[in-house]
């Protein structure tokens, strides 16, 4: 009896067949065919550049005119210039369904009111689930929310011959904080360098540089500022590194990390609501005690699986809202780290979320794209002065999803809802 799973046997058999026909070099080795002709990289976008790229694509791929029209529709081509600052080799737009939930009442330090929240997704049942979470939270008086910390990290690294040289370098950094701050902030009107923390590992020094970024998400802002800071160090520090790099993969940029979980990257937001038992039974059709029982099981599951934080599905709301409002969707990787709590308290069930890495903006990046700008307008959160409010609304929306999914699973509705809304519709 074989101890290998069937999938392994199938893979081995496929390899034997392919290698018998072609040999290793013929199938898996480097190809001797001439390399494909490079596609020119176009940074501008207009009707002429779009047509030129599509001429190559249709010749090489055989994509139909109908397929081309789905991506390069007349409006997308006519407005090509509106996208030029956000992409290279522009060929059109991808249309993703956009739904809306709400009004969601948020009683935040920055977001105060009833918000319609746009969500771009192809997953049926998702908007419905978040929508019922929004309904019950609004019925309960709304969600309390607050941005409690802000700071986008960039972490350059410097390599020296030995530990002693690292010590001299760190001492120079401490003595020249003011000059380093000035060098970094000279590159931006809105960014502020609020912390430099050296982290030493034998012959290497990482500098944790934390910035506030105004109403922008600030990824590019902090990179440019940190480059200027590093240039100042190289030009003025008497201790010269053997090597240095503007980012050393320590900041948690677009990655789930312990650093982000504890110190935060972007905006740290906490939100909470208490739902009375009768509201839970009426609007979620769930039993509060069953929800608490499931919460204990899910908490243990988070621990046993090694999850960074403990939550059900922040990424669903984050991806949908980030895409709808022009955020960097890759930042969902770090933004989805966080903690959901459920507790039995006087008056019902207490729910909270704490999300240390909500990396969003209401200016810059993709927020000025036509559809994304309109989605921010729908929320009343477009432009300067709204980034903190957007972060509070997003955390509140994430909690709506946590409440809804816990209720659905605990009540046995989860599979039926997805079957009805996703498979049968």
What CATH number is attached to the domain comprising 197? 3.30.70.420
Q: Two tokens at 158?
A: 């410097």
Within a domain: residue 10?
A: no
Is residue 350 located within the same domain as residue 398? yes
Is residue 181 located within the same domain as residue 323? no
Buried b (16+ CB within 10 A) or exposed e, 369-387: bebbbebbebbebbeeebb
Is residue 57 located within the same domain as residue 107? no
Report the number of distinct structural domains present in the chain.
Answer: 3
Cα–Cα distance measured from residue 180 to residue 197, given in angstroms and rounded to the nearest whole number: 12
Within a domain: residue 144?
A: yes
- The pLDDT value recorded for residue 149 is 95
Q: Which candidate in 277, 313, 328, 413 is catalytic?
A: 328
Within a domain: residue 97?
A: no
- The pLDDT value recorded for residue 136 is 98
Is residue 219 located within the same domain as residue 291? no
Q: Two tokens at 316?
A: 């669903």
Is residue 79 located within the same domain as residue 112? no
* Residue-wise DSSP of 153-184: EE--EEE-SSHHHHHHHHHHHHHTHHHHHHHH
- The pLDDT value recorded for residue 323 is 98
Within a domain: residue 67?
A: yes
Q: Pairing mode, if any, of strands 309-310 and 338-345? A: parallel
Closest by CA to 314, choosing from 206, 404, 246, 218, is: 404
Within a domain: residue 328?
A: yes
- The pLDDT value recorded for residue 355 is 98
Is residue 340 located within the same domain as residue 410? yes
Low-confidence stretches of the chain (pLDDT beneath 70): 1-4, 22-28, 418-419, 422-423, 425
At residue 272, what are phi and psi to the nearest 5 degrees? -155, 160
Q: What is this structure's pTM? A: 0.93
210, 245, 280 — which closes off a domain? 245
Cα–Cα distance measured from residue 171 to residue 387, given in angstroms and rounded to the nearest whole number: 36
- The pLDDT value recorded for residue 14 is 79
Cα–Cα distance measured from residue 300 to residue 150, given in angstroms and rounded to the nearest whole number: 30
Q: What is the CATH number of the domain that holds 399?
A: 3.90.770.10
Closest by CA to 46, choosing from 92, 2, 4, 112, is: 92
Give catalytic status of residue 123 as yes or no: yes
Is residue 273 located within the same domain as residue 126? yes
Cα–Cα distance measured from residue 310 to residue 298, given in angstroms and rounded to the nearest whole number: 8
Is residue 137 located within the same domain as residue 160? no
Within a domain: residue 386?
A: yes
Q: Two tokens at 370?
A: 């036509």
Q: Which candidate in 123, 203, 277, 290 is catalytic?
A: 123
Within a domain: residue 16?
A: no
Is residue 349 located within the same domain as residue 411? yes
Q: For residue 148, give Cα distances in angstroms to 4, 84, 269, 270, 336.
A: 51, 35, 6, 7, 17
Is residue 416 located within the same domain as residue 300? yes
Q: Which candidate in 190, 313, 413, 418 is catalytic?
A: 418
Buried b (16+ CB within 10 A) or exposed e, 212-243: bbbbbbbbebbeebbbbbbebbeeebebebee
Buried b (16+ CB within 10 A) or exposed e, 134-171: bbbbbebebbbbbbeebbbbbbbbbebeeeebbeebbe
Residues comprising the chain, all counted? 425
Give catalytic status of residue 328 as yes or no: yes
Closest by CA to 173, choosing from 153, 193, 150, 144, is: 193
Is residue 115 located within the same domain as residue 60? no
Cα–Cα distance measured from residue 138 to residue 275, given in angstroms and rounded to the nearest whole number: 10
- The pLDDT value recorded for residue 2 is 59
Within a domain: residue 125?
A: yes
Which residues 6+ apart lie within 8 Å of 413 measured at CB? 285, 286, 407
Closest by CA to 153, choosing from 268, 269, 265, is: 265
Scan for tokens 């921010």, then name that residue: 376
At residue 193, what are phi and psi to the nearest 5 degrees? -85, 115
Q: Does residue 255 contact residue 382 with C-beta atoms inside 8 Å?
A: no
Cα–Cα distance measured from residue 55 to residue 49, given in angstroms and rounded to the nearest whole number: 10
Scan for tokens 């709301």, then name that residue: 317
State which residues form the domain around 82.
43-91
Is residue 233 located within the same domain as residue 272? no
Q: What is the DSSP letter of 383?
A: S
């Amino acid at each position: 009896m074989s101890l290998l799973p069937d999938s392994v046997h199938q893979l081995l058999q496929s390899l034997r067949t392919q290698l018998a026909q072609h040999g290793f070099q013929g199938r898996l080795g480097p190809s001797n065919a001439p390399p494909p002709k490079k596609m020119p990289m176009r940074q501008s976008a207009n009707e002429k550049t779009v047509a030129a790229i599509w001429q190559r694509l249709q010749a090489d791929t055989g994509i139909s005119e109908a397929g081309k029209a789905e991506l390069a529709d007349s409006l997308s081509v006519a407005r090509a210039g509106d996208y030029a600052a956000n992409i290279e080799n522009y060929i059109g737009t991808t249309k993703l369904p956009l739904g809306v939930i709400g009004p969601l009442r948020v009683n935040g330090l920055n977001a105060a009111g009833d918000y319609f929240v746009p969500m771009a997704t192809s997953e049926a049942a998702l908007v419905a689930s978040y929508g019922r979470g929004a309904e019950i939270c609004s019925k309960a008086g709304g969600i309390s929310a607050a941005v409690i910390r802000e700071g986008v990290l960039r972490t350059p690294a410097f390599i020296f011959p030995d530990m002693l040289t690292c010590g001299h370098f760190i001492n120079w950094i401490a003595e020249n904080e003011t000059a380093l701050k000035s060098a970094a902030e000279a590159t931006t009107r809105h960014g502020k360098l609020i912390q430099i923390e050296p982290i030493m590992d034998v012959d290497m020094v990482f500098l944790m540089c934390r910035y506030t970024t105004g109403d922008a998400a600030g990824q590019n802002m902090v990179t440019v500022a940190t480059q200027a800071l590093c240039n100042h160090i190289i030009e003025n520090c008497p201790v010269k590194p053997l090597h240095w790099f503007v980012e050393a993969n320590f900041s948690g940029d677009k990655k789930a990390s312990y650093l982000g979980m504890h110190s935060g990257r972007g905006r740290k937001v906490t939100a909470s609501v208490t739902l009375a038992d009768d509201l839970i039974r009426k609007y979620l059709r769930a039993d509060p005690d069953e929800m608490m029982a499931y919460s204990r099981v899910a908490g243990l599951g988070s621990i046993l699986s090694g999850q960074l934080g403990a939550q059900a599905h922040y990424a669903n709301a984050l991806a949908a809202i980030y895409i709808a409002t022009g955020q960097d969707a890759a930042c969902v990787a770090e933004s989805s780290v966080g903690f959901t709590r459920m507790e039995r308290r006087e008056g019902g069930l207490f729910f909270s979320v704490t999300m240390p890495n909500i990396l969003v903006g209401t200016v810059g990046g993709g927020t000025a794209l036509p559809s994304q700008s309109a989605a921010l307008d729908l929320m009343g959160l477009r432009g300067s002065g709204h980034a903190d409010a957007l972060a509070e609304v997003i955390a509140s929306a994430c909690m709506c999803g946590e409440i809804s999914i816990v209720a659905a699973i605990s009540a046995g509705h989860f599979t039926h809802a997805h079957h009805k809304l996703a498979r049968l519709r």
